Chain A
């Protein structure tokens, strides 16, 4: 028999579970086994999956000897196809498992056997080869149909769906922001990205989360209208620079030179925007919901052609979900009452700990730690409030509500962005003072954890 090679996508009717298939395996002692299976599932161009529910001998055999062979029928003509397979792995969670499980449950629910038909795992097989059984039927091979394109979902669309689902389920703003950046890396290979939030009062954007940079750059600012990111914020339109000319690198080089020459006075209270020194392309997507700018998502790459219309579209869709999520989670983080506020910290004297010296400059509401700039403005005042209460009253647990009621912090009554300020503070501490941490303790509650002895000093200027 002549072995033909097929694109398994073209055999899409065979994967609809309309006609049972057969699967043969072989134990390590050489005993063959064969079983009917209700459906062979398409996974991708080189893999199929088979549901593991009942046929335990098959399940055991492929773990001893991964080779397998399946014969499937095309329900349109009953042409038969033989798949040579190698068991690859088993999935008991994740999108493939979920979709196979739901399909089984839907069938089982008709017969009241949802427990009996429970999917144990999706066994994924690599397709080593496919052949049509020649001399099997007199019927002609049906012409290729357009329908397959509706059955096999573009992997980008699957990724978009997963991102939308996870953003939709996020409970905390911080989790949503870091999760979104991680997913951009995992699903689309965007290794270097950041999210900036709009500060409408000051006509600025402030970096709140980043991924793929040695310095997280959280707290760095960009004026609305400045540079690519600022322009995107103003125009509320996605822009991308491919094969970026040297101007951006030039600006970054100037900064590097100034730092090298010790001319740091002008820049010492500025956090640099995260950036790749050798970025070749950049895209910035406005995060807008109901016409209001929430922030900007910016992604960089060393590949000059990394951002083309496809990436523009994908990131714009993600940006829409992200904007809605940010908008929702940053105004809805009210605390749950707690009875654990005000616990005493572990006695610092009982352990040998380093000392961290925090200095608060009243003139510009700015905090330095051990002589290095940490943070300023409202997040700095929040930190100062927490540190003084930690020192004077031994408090370690705090609530968003008490901060909102603290007049000294000067939070506005409406849209106070407290949650984003706390994230900013948390990230800056992670970067500059990792032995003092703000740890989330649920919605609207957090704790101050310190592995160092804390010294505080207030300065007028």
Chain B
């Protein structure tokens, strides 16, 4: 179960980065165009663009293991979720709408940090794949001495 404060955090325009690895344990890192926590609070969905996340998708199809970290630019509140892929599916209209909403919120966060909207609006936020993930571990990764402490399960 993802704690309340992290569910709230994940729905407030966070920067979403995804870590995977291949069979030789070479890590891969990419950016996701949105995140959503399901009602069961044990599943999340992230949205990826195949144009620059091809290797990440290969890794997910091969071994299903991933780590996702999210941070809110205005206060650096940060978490890391680890888990396994449950489902990989093409993006439908609901996910496109989710992505647009995320992009608007994240741009507002960046704007509050002084980043020009021209820059964040220049991003090609057109995810093609939605990944459903069963979350197995949750960590508080807000910068500071306690960073990395496990909060769930």
**Residues A78 and B147 in contact, CB atoms below 8 Å apart:** no
Q: Is A24 an interface residue (CB 8 A)?
A: yes
A71 nearest CB neighbor, chain B only:
B29
| Chain A residues with CB under 8 A of B99 | none
- Residues of chain A in range 70-92 having any CB-CB distance to chain B below 8 Å: 70-71, 77-78, 80, 82, 84
Question: Do B25 and A26 have beta carbons less than 8 Å apart?
Answer: yes
A35 with B29: in contact, given A54-B144, A54-B145 (CB under 8 Å)? no
A69 in contact with B80 (CB, 8 Å): no
Measured CB to CB, the closest approach of chain A to B70, in angstroms, equals: 9
User: Cβ of B55: which chain A residues have Cβ within 8 Å of it?
Assistant: 1
A7 interface residue (CB < 8 Å to B):
no
**B8 contacts the other chain (CB 8 A):** no
Asked if B122 lies at the interface with its beta carbon under 8 angstroms from chain A, I say yes
| A32 engages B52 (CB within 8 Å) | no
Residues of B with C-beta under 8 A to A33: 19, 67, 80, 82
Answer whether residue A152 sits at the interface, using C-beta atoms and an 8 A cutoff. Answer: no
Instruction: Give A136 to B53 CA distance when docked, in angstroms.
Output: 10
Task: Please tell me if the beta carbons of B51 and A24 are within 8 angstroms of each other in the complex.
Answer: no
- Indicate whether A23 reaches chain B with its CB closer than 8 angstroms: yes
Pick the contact of A68 from B27, B63, B147 — CB < 8 Å?
Answer: B27
Query: Given known contacts A36-B71, A55-B148, A78-B123, is B52 in contact with A135 (CB within 8 Å)?
Result: yes
Count of chain A residues with a beta carbon within 8 Å of a chain B beta carbon: 40
Contact between B148 and A56, CB atoms less than 8 A apart: yes
* B31, A71: Cβ atoms closer than 8 Å: yes
**Complex CA–CA separation, A70 to B26 (angstroms):** 12
If A20-B71, A26-B21 touch, does A1 touch B27 (CB 8 Å cutoff)?
no
Whole-angstrom distance between the Cβ of B147 and the nearest chain A Cβ: 4
CB-CB contacts below 8 Å: B96-153 with A: 115, 118-120, 122-124, 141, 143-145, 147-148
Is B20 part of the contact surface with A, judged by Cβ < 8 Å? yes
Which residue of the partner chain B has the closest CB to A62?
B27
**In the complex, what distance in Å separates the CA atom of A389 from the CA atom of B144?**
64
- CB pair A138 B25 closer than 8 Å: no
B65 close to A32 (CB less than 8 A): yes
Contact B123 A65 (CB under 8 A): no
Task: Output the residue of A32, A33, A36, A82 with the most chain B CB within 10 A.
Answer: A32
* Contact assessment for B29 and A23 in the assembled complex, using a CB-CB cutoff below 8 Å: yes
User: Given A65-B25, A135-B124, is A80 in contact with B67 using a C-beta cutoff of 8 Å?
Assistant: no
B51 and A135: CB pair below 8 A? yes
Chain A residues within 8 Å of B63, by CB: 30
A34-B80, A54-B148 known; A71-B51 Cβ under 8 A: no
B69:A35 contact, CB within 8 angstroms = yes
List CB contacts (< 8 Å) of B52-90 with chain A. Answer: 52, 54-55, 63, 65-69, 71, 78, 80, 82
Residue pair B31, A80 in contact (C-beta under 8 Å): yes
Name the B residues within 8 Å of A67 (CB-CB).
25-27
The answer to whether B122 touches A34 (Cβ under 8 A) is: no
On whether the beta carbons of A32 and B82 are closer than 8 Å, the reply is yes
B-side contacts of A57, CB under 8 Å: 148
A344 to B84, CA, bound (A): 78
Chain A positions 5-51 with a Cβ under 8 Å from a chain B Cβ: 19-20, 22-26, 28, 30-36, 38
A33 to B, closest residue via Cβ:
B67
A34 and B119 form a contact (CB under 8 A): no
CB of B49 within 8 A of CB of A30, answer no
From A56, A77, A84, A116, contact of B144 by CB (8 A): A116
Please indicate the chain B residues that have their CB under 8 angstroms from the CB of A24 in the complex: 17, 19-21, 27-29, 67
| Alpha-carbon distance between A55 and B145 when the two chains are bound, in angstroms | 9
CB proximity of B151 to chain A, nearest CB, Å:
14
Verify if B18 is at the interface (C-beta below 8 Å from A).
Answer: yes
Quick check: is A186 within 8 A (CB to CB) of the other chain? no
Does A133 make an interface contact (CB < 8 A)? yes
The yes or no answer to A261 lying at the interface (CB within 8 A) is no
**CB-defined contacts of B20 to chain A, threshold 8 Å:** 24, 32
A55 touches B17 (CB 8 A): no
The answer to whether residues A34 and B18 also contact, given A24-B67, A54-B145 and a CB cut-off of 8 A, is yes
The residues of B that contact A69 with a CB separation of less than 8 Å are 19, 26-29
Q: B80: which A residues are within 8 A, CB to CB?
A: 33-35
B26 (CB) vs chain A CBs: closest residue: A67
CA distance A32 to B63 in the complex (A): 11
Residue A226 interfacial (CB < 8 Å): no
Chain B contacts for A1, CB-based, 8 A: 51-52, 54-55
Closest Cβ of chain B to A4, distance in Å, is 12
Among all A-B residue pairs, the 7 with the closest Cβ atoms: A24-B19, A34-B19, A135-B51, A22-B17, A133-B52, A139-B122, A24-B29
Residues of B within 8 A of A (CB): 15, 17-21, 25-31, 49, 51-52, 54-55, 63, 65-69, 71, 78, 80, 82, 115, 118-120, 122-124, 141, 143-145, 147-148
19 contacts between A and B (CB under 8 A): A22-B17, A24-B29, A32-B21, A36-B15, A36-B141, A54-B148, A56-B147, A56-B148, A57-B148, A67-B26, A68-B27, A69-B27, A78-B115, A78-B123, A80-B52, A82-B29, A133-B31, A134-B51, A139-B118
Given A80-B52, A82-B29, A133-B30, 10 additional A-B pairs, CB 8 A: A19-B115, A23-B29, A26-B25, A31-B65, A34-B67, A34-B68, A34-B69, A38-B143, A54-B147, A56-B148
